[in-house]
């Protein structure tokens, strides 16, 4: 895939866009298939590079993976517990879900520390605390390779100091075959966790409470295959909603779960954006004067950290000074520097940034420093006068299916550099 996205800005968008399956659910569902002993078929799998990378990791474990249109057919019946120490593992952060999944399945996993987007420090102490509480021993060598093993995994109560999405998912998977009952207290409540619990239960697991702050897992002895359709991506939906609010006369976004977007919708209402909600769609009518607002990111159901950079780009068009407080990743403001290169007026005092509107953005060369920074730059590029060139576009392809094609269908002048 090409490395640059080029946008000629200033054109009004219009039309309809369908939201794909959720990236952050998919990246947990794929590793979870190693817990099954027969075929798992997952529908509405987004065509993004993170899915490719996780499928490659599965193949290196001798798991068969076939993609047919929007579904992945995964046959883990001949799986081998091979050490995951190659470069393909460190390429993306979600590879760490193989920690919990392989520990659960084989009671042993050897895996290199994952990479992923740089959003400031991203420790995994809570994941490890959970594995240890279940009876595992954790060793880390000088090359960043973890060896986690247990003679027996025993159900227990695990309290998370913070409702971490990753730790909740990893501990859930590690506990699936543990003896007895595991209770994760102060668990994360994100919809992607509920989706994973639904798939695991279809496979024969006994997981209750997903979506609340207490998840209860009663250990079972084996899991079978299943069919599962992924929930729509609330962050991709949020991205197109904000794009519509910023640049569209009228745009309909379909295949959404409105309930998952309440944090965003309420903030856009404050900003004076006109919206019509359907059962599984939302229509945005643009062109109103945008008001400055205050946002504070929080764990779900609060305002999602993954959407704050998008609002950052949008609020350059608001009247007055907006403020964003980032409580999940206090350093997630690299996008502001890039937006300022385009003529925005944003001052960062981590964990807060102040956005002074209204700015006429101007096209220039900018860099996607991470996935959601890339999405914010696309919004800015669509708003800007002239041509914007976004380098390191591979970050964007990690999480947005066919973004260039989807935007072209909405009348955007956008292309990938060949
Ligand atoms: N944290 C710890 N210790 C841990 C785990 C987390 O201190 O052991 C801290 C983190 O440093 C961070 C906070 O807890 O400050 C939240 O981390 P969390 O574990 O909840 O996030 P994550 O699992 O690493 C997922 C998504 C992110 C999303 C966050 C928050 C996936 C693959 N990633 O990350 O998505 O921002 O939850 O909702 O699901 C993205 O899609 O762009 C993205 C970065």
Q: Where are the domains of the chain?
A: 4-19+232-417, 23-227
Distance, CA 143 to ligand 1 centroid (Å)? 23
The stretch 298-326 carries a mean pLDDT of 97
Ligand 1 in reach of 371 Cβ (< 6 A): yes
Angle at CA of residue 28, ends 22 and 31, nearest 5°: 135
Residue 90's pLDDT is what? 86
Q: Which atom of ligand 1 is nearest to the CA of 126?
A: 8
Q: Which atom of ligand 1 is nearest to the CA of 125?
A: 8
Distance, CA 122 to ligand 1 centroid (Å)? 7
pLDDT at 417 over 70: yes
pTM here?
0.97
Helix (H) or strand (E) holding 14, with range, is strand 13-18
Residue 92's pLDDT is what? 86
Structure tokens at 210: 């997903």
Ligand 1 in reach of 122 Cβ (< 6 A): yes
User: Do the domains 23-227 and 4-19+232-417 match in fold?
Assistant: yes
pLDDT tens readout for residues 41-70: 999 999 999 999 999 999 999 999 999 999
**Architecture of domain 4-19+232-417 in CATH?**
Alpha-beta prism (3.65)
Q: Which residue's CA lies nearest to atom 23 of ligand 1?
A: 166
Q: Which of the listed residues 101, 123, 133, 165 should we mutate to test ligand 1's pocket, taking the one with most ligand atoms within 8 A of CB?
A: 165
Mean of the per-residue pLDDT values of the chain: 95
Contacts of 14 (CB under 8 A, 6+ apart): 248, 249, 250, 251, 410, 411
pLDDT tens readout for residues 65-104: 999 999 999 999 999 999 999 888 888 889 999 999 999 9
Long-range contacts of 136-140 (CB under 8 A, 24+ apart): 136/103, 136/107, 136/174
User: Do the Cβ atoms of 169 and 150 come closer than 8 Å?
Assistant: no
Lowest mean pLDDT among 123-127, 162-166, 312-316: 123-127
Ligand 1 in reach of 372 Cβ (< 6 A): yes
Q: Which of the listed residues 31, 162, 370 should we mutate to test ligand 1's pocket, taking the one with most ligand atoms within 8 A of CB?
A: 162
Residue 357's pLDDT is what? 93
pLDDT at 116 over 70: no
pLDDT tens readout for residues 365-398: 999 999 999 999 999 999 999 999 999 999 999 9
Return the active site residues: 117
Structure tokens at 76: 């883990």
Lowest mean pLDDT among 120-124, 128-132, 242-246: 120-124
Residue 120's pLDDT is what? 67
Distance, CA 256 to ligand 1 centroid (Å)? 23
> Nearest Cα to 337, choosing from 313, 303, 321?
313
Question: Which CATH code is given to the segment(s) 23-227?
Answer: 3.65.10.10
Q: What percent of the chain stands above pLDDT 90?
A: 92
Place 115 in a pLDDT band, splitting at 50, 70 and 90.
low
How many CA atoms lie within 13 Å of 113's alpha carbon, on the beta-carbon side?
13
């Amino acid at each position: 895939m090409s490395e640059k996205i080029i946008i000629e800005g200033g054109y009004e968008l219009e039309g309809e866009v369908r939201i794909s399956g959720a990236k952050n659910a998919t990246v947990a569902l794929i590793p979870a298939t190693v817990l099954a002993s027969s075929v798992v078929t997952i529908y509405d799998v987004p065509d993004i590079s993170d899915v490719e990378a996780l499928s490659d990791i599965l193949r290196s474990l001798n798991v068969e993976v076939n993609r047919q249109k929007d579904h992945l057919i995964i046959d883990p019946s001949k799986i081998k517990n091979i050490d995951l120490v190659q470069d393909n593992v460190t390429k993306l952060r979600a590879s760490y879900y193989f920690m919990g999944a392989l520990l659960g399945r084989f009671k042993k996993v050897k895996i290199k520390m994952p990479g992923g987007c740089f959003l400031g420090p991203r420790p995994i102490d809570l994941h490890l605390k959970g594995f240890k509480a279940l009876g595992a021993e954790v060793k880390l060598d000088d090359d960043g390779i973890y060896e986690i093993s247990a003679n027996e995994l025993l159900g227990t109560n695990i309290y998370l100091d913070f409702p971490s999405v990753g730790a909740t998912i990893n501990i859930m998977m590690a506990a699936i075959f543990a003896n007895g009952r595991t209770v994760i207290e102060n668990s994360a409540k994100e919809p992607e966790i509920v989706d994973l619990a639904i798939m695991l239960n279809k496979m024969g697991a006994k997981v209750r409470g997903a979506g609340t702050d207490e998840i209860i897992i009663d250990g079972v002895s084996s899991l079978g295959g299943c069919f599962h359709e992924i929930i729509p991506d609330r962050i991709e939906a949020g991205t197109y909603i904000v794009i519509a609010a910023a640049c569209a006369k009228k745009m309909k976004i379909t295949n959404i779960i409105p309930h998952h977007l309440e944090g965003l919708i309420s903030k856009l209402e404050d900003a004076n954006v006109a919206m019509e909600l359907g059962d599984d769609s939302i229509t945005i009518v643009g062109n109103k004067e945008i008001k400055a607002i205050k946002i504070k990111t929080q764990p779900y159901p609060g305002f999602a950290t993954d959407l704050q950079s998008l609002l950052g780009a949008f609020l350059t068009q608001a009247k007055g000074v907006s403020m964003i407080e980032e409580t999940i990743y206090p350093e997630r403001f690299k996008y502001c520097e890039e937006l300022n290169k385009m003529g925005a007026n944003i001052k960062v005092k981590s964990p807060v940034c102040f956005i002074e509107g209204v700015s006429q953005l101007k096209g220039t060369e900018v860099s996607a420093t991470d996935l959601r920074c890339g999405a914010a730059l696309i919004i800015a590029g669509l708003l800007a006068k002239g041509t914007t060139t976004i380098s390191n576009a591979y970050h964007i392809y990690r999480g947005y299916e066919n973004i260039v094609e989807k935007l072209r269908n909405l009348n955007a002048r956008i292309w990938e550099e060949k």
